[in-house]
Structure formats: structure tokens, C-alpha cells
Amino acid sequence: MSDIKPISILVAALGGEGGGVLSDWIISAATQLDFPVQSTSVPGVAQRTGATTYYLEVLPLARNALAGREPIFSLTPTPGSLDIIVASELVEAGRVLQGGYVNTARTTLIASTHREYAISEKTAMGDGRFDTARLVTAAQKMAQRTFLFDMRVLAWKHGTVINTVMFGAMAGTGVLPFPREVCEEAIRESGKAVEASLRGFAAGYGHVTGTGDADVTAPASIQAGVSSIPRRVQQFPEPVRQLVGAGVEHVTDYQSNAYASLYLDRCETICGIESDRGQLDFPVTRETARYLALWMAYEDVVRVADLKTRRERLDRVRKEVSAKEGEPLRLTEYLKPGLDEICSMLPSRLANWTRNRFKGREGAFSVALHMRTDTVSGFLLLCTLRSLRFWRPRSSRYANEQKAIVRWLAAIRLALAMSGGVAHELALSGNLVKGYGETSERGHRNLEAILADFEATGLRDPELLEARVRDARVAALADPEGRTLAKSLGLQPPEPKAKPIRFVRRLPHA
């Protein structure tokens, strides 16, 4: 039946992004032209931070041309029948693809390329982010036309909410059956933040029609700020040179030039072996250089004090919390130093003595500090801690970390002699050691388990061994309790730490 069909519009958004207001604008635009219009939504529990959709249909025919007939609109988007879809975030565009709503023959797909991460992506112990490269390809393949750009940045730039840019982009595609002025009138009619909304609308419209200001692409990935490359770094093969440079800079910044020399010595050894093996892209050196730099610059109170007292940090904080020029800022740090932090700065023998002396009473040393660092005294205290940098090489923690590093590097060298793949996996395992307190302990424990397994294993088939190390490395990041790792290495699951808590059975009827 060839009659004029409704235009169907799907808005995929997250709670609080103004999807409802966007629907209202579309309704208002349709009403100005006396087009029949219907909108529905599924707020339900989705209103609480979840994904939500708004669905609209507009019949592009004024009511007086309908002769009393009423169009029958659908209340739900149906596969393949969408004319225009706008997603406020990239993964939401993926969700729409997954639902079968995008039709090559019909659908214009607009999506913002920025990410709002889902909880599963955020809680991963490492990098749990969804790979969006495939998503972009899929969108371009499945839609009739796609417009993917960072709408959030445009919204920020124009001091408005993302829904205004979304509306402008929709209007710009020409799929909405309203001229630009009608859309702008709808925004004016709503009467709220009109000027900013119109700016956002114009930005979205301009981007899609190619008439707007400079295009908005994703911000360029952060490049290493290697200013001038020291001579020893220049001697590294090209594929790893930049990374080793960044490592040198990191370690220098952490401790000293001499410490950076030690770093370079260690890198050179690995690089030398790998070079002999004829590896052209140096994967083992790359990952070793990366995680070695991070490990050598392990996190301790001195480092934290150092980073928190830098001029650039003070500027960054003001910018991040959008403090205006001249507005006083009170700054509180949450620090909870304990016996461990104290011992780690003592020389090894004294540290061991102290640990034994206070065994079982560690908790008593943990003080939850709310340290004000906008005051001179608070800042000075941090400066004092910062100055302990010169003492660091004499501390017990330093000795322990170097010992563990040496063991790790030895394993990598040993593996490299046998198989590049195994060595690469061991190098990547360096990422397990990071963080503070419990997190750091857990990382050390996990890496040690993997190294011990490697050192003791009878496996001599490189492929099997590589798979074993990889599985263990991934397993170590699966749960904080180390259960998955234990299973992967065939060990007993870790015992929960004994706690001096008395359990009281429920009492019978009093």
C-alpha cells in the first residue's frame, strides 16, 4: 500500500541527558505544522542511570489533509522501520545495532563518539573497556548514512546539554520533516536556557551539513612528552625508542639520573638478547621497558607527596573542579598511613624488627587523616615527606622491590632464551604489580605465584607454557581474592585472612 508513511525516530540515551526534553521539542515542531505525532518512552527503572530510549512517530501530513483519518502509530520501535536514530553515546549506538533497528535501506544513524563507561567496564582490575573500533565499522556498514562525532565536546563548548546538539544533528540530516526554523522555534517555545540550546542546536546542525565550525574529532591520544632524547636511548631500536625514552623520563622524575641509568642497563640487557633472536619489533623489550619503568617508580608516600605538591597539580585541581578565578579553594587529602608505610621507609633490619614487635597490632597504627593541603602547615608536611626521596634507596621497601624486579627480569631473560612468546607474557605480567597497600601486596603475591610456577614448571613446550602464563596473568585480574588465579595455576584457593572476631550464634528464644 503506497501511502505516506510516518517518520519513525528513536532516541537512545542515558538517564539525565535530556532525552525527554528532546522528545518534547520534536513534538512541539510537529505540532507547529499540525502533523500528527506520538511519543513514548520506557523510563521505568531505566531512569536510574540505565540506558533508556524515546520513540517518536510523525506523519508528515497536516491534519486538514487527513480528512478525519487517524494514523495508527506504533508504540515500540520495530526492526528495520527506523528512519532516524540518534544515540547520545557510542555504545548505545551499538545497542541499537544489536536490536536490529538499523536498516541499510532506510536508517540514518547519528551517534556521539564519546564514551560513558558501563559498570562492567569500570570495575575491571585492568582495562575492561569495550573495543569500539568494530562498533564504528558495524555502524557504517549497517546504516544508510552515519554521522559519528563527539557531541559531548560540542555541548561543552557551547555551554549546553548534549540533547541540543543531538536535535541539531537530526535536523541537519534532513530526515526530520521540519525546516530548521520550526525546530528552533520549538526550542524557543520551551523557554528554558534558550540561547545556549540554540547554540548547541546550530553546532549539531552545522556539523552534519558541513557548514559548522572546525570539525570535532576525538581528542588525539596522549603522546609521550619526551622533550629531548638522551644518547643512550637513541641507541635503542626504533620500535621501542620512544617508550624507553618515556621510561627514562618517568624513572628520572621518580628518583634520579643514576636510577635512570640502572633502568637503561636493565632494558639494554633484554633488548640485546631479543636483538640476537632477530625479533624486529621487539615486543619483549617494549613491554619490559614499560612495566619496568612503572615498577621501579613504585608508589610510596614519598612519591605521593611529591606528586601532590607540584605546581601543575595545583593548577589541574582548580581546572578539574571548575573553580573560578579568585575563588578560594579548600583542599583535603585522604591519607591513611599505617605501620606498613612507616616500616617501608626504615632500613630492612629495623623494619623487620618493628614488624615483629607490633605483629597483630598493625591496625593501631592506621590513622585516617583528612589532611588539608591548602594550608601552609599541611603543605609543608607533604614537602617534608617529599624530601625523603634521597633516603629512599636505603629503605626496606626499596630493597624488597629491587629483589622482586631482579627475579622478574631473570625470568624474562630465561624465557627469552627459549621462546619470545613466553618472555612476552612474563613481561606483560609486570602489569600486575601496581597500586598501594593491599592492591600492591596482592599484585606482588600474584606475580610471585606466576614466576614460581614458571620456574618450577616441567613444561618445555613453548606454546603450552605461553598459554599457561597468559591464562594465569588474565586470571590474576579476574577477582581481587585470587581465586581464579589459584585455579589457573592448580593451587589451593587462598585462605581468607584470620580475623580476631568472635561469632555469636543467634540466641534461642529469650
Partner 1 sequence: MAERSFTNEVQKLRLGEGDEFRGEGILAVTKALLQSGVSYIGGYQGAPISHLIDVLGDSRDLLEGLGIYFENSASEAGAAAMLGASINYPVRGAVTWKSTVGTNVASDALSNLASAGVKGGALIILGEDYGEGSSIIQERTHAFAMKSQMWLMDPRPNLTSIVNLVEQSFELSEASQTPVMLQLRIRACHVYGSFICKDNKAPRISSNELITEPSFDFSKINLPPSIYEQERLKIDARWPAAVNFIRDRKLNETFDGELGELGLIVPGGLYNGVIRALQQLDLADTYGRSKIPLYVMNVVYPLVPDELIQFCVTRLSVLVVEEGQPNYIEDAIHAVLRKAGVAAPLHGKDIFPMAGEYTGEVLLRGIGAYLDAARPAKLEVTEVLATQRALTGLRQDGVAALVEPVPSRPPGFCIGCPERPVFAAIKLMQKELGTVHVSADIGCHTFGTLAPFNVGSTVLGYGLGLASSSGIAPLMRNRVISIMGDGGFWHNGFTSGVVNAVYNGQDSVLVILKNGYTSATGTQAIPSSPTQRTNHPMTLDIAAALKGVGVRWVKTVPSYSVSDMLSTLKDAMTTEEGGLKVIIADGECQLERQRRIKPIVAKRLKAGKREVRTRFGIDDDVCTGDHSCIRLSGCPSLTIKPNPSALRTDPVATVNQGCVGCGLCGENVHAATLCPSFYKAEIIQNATRWERLIYRLRSSVIGMLAGASRTQEALTA
Residues 150-209 that bind partner 1 (CB under 8 A): none
3-state secondary structure 221-238: CCCCCCCCCCHHHHCCCH
Residues 23-52 close enough to bind partner 1 by CB under 8 A: 23, 27, 31, 37-51
What phi and psi values does residue 39 have, to the nearest 5 degrees?
-135, 150
Confirm or reject binding of residue 445 to partner 1 (CB under 8 A). no
The residues that bridge with 51 in the sheet, in sequence order, are: 14
Establish if 64 lies at the interface with partner 1 (CB under 8 A). no
DSSP single-letter state for residue 113: -
* Helix, strand or coil, per DSSP, at residue 148: strand
Q: Which string of x and - marks every residue 224-243 that binds partner 1 (by CB under 8 A)?
A: xxxxx-x-----------xx
Stretch that binds partner 1, among 101-109, 268-276, 390-398, 455-463 (CB under 8 A): 101-109
Binding span for partner 1 by CB under 8 A among 87-95, 197-205, 209-217, 464-472: 87-95
Cβ neighbors of 65 (< 8 A, separation 6 or more) are: none
Residue 52 sits at the vertex; the CA angle it makes with 50 and 57, to the nearest 5 degrees, is: 180
What is the Cα–Cα distance from 282 to 469, expressed in whole angstroms? 19
Give the total of residues touching partner 1 (CB under 8 A): 153
Q: Does 397 bind partner 1 (CB under 8 A)?
A: no
Chain residues 262-321 in contact with partner 1, contact rule CB under 8 A: 290, 293-294, 299, 304, 306-314, 317, 320-321
Bridge partners of residue 112, in order along the sequence: 149
Nearer to partner 1, 115 or 180 (CB): 115
Question: For residue 197, which phi and psi values (nearest 5 degrees)?
Answer: -65, -40
**Pairing relationship of beta strands 7-14 and 51-58 according to DSSP bridges:** antiparallel
Query: Stretches 110-118, 185-193, 196-204, 462-470: which one binds partner 1 (CB under 8 A)?
Result: 110-118
Residue nearer to partner 1 on the CB measure, 14 or 208: 14
User: Closest separation between CB of residue 172 and partner 1, Å?
Assistant: 24
- Piece in contact with partner 1 (CB under 8 A), picked from 165-173, 195-203, 266-274, 431-439: 431-439
Q: Of residues 138, 196, 467, 474, which one binds partner 1 by CB under 8 A?
A: 138
Binders of partner 1 in range 458-487 (CB under 8 A): 480
Place of cell 528552533: 184
Of 177, 435, 462, 494, the one binding partner 1 by CB under 8 A = 435
Q: 86 pairs with which residues across the strands?
A: 11, 110
Q: For helices 283-296 and 257-276, give the axis angle rounded to 10 degrees.
A: 160
- Residue 117, classed as helix, strand or coil, is coil
Helix (H, G, I), strand (E, B) or coil at 300: coil
Cα–Cα distances (Å) from 142 to 13, 80, 96, 135, 145, in that order, read 20, 11, 11, 10, 9
Query: By C-beta, is 210 or 225 nearer to partner 1?
Result: 225
Position 498 contacts partner 1 (CB under 8 A)? no
* Residue 58 is a binding residue for partner 1 (CB under 8 A): no
Q: Which is nearer to partner 1, 151 or 208 (CB)?
A: 151
Select the span of 116-124, 209-217, 395-403, 451-459 touching partner 1 (CB under 8 A).
116-124
Residues 107 and 115: their CA atoms lie apart, in Å, by 22
Site string for partner 1, 351-380 (x = CB under 8 A): ---------------x-x-x--xxxx--xx
Contact between 434 and partner 1 by CB under 8 A: the answer reads yes
| Residue 461 identity | D
- Nearest approach in angstroms of CB 209 to partner 1 is 28
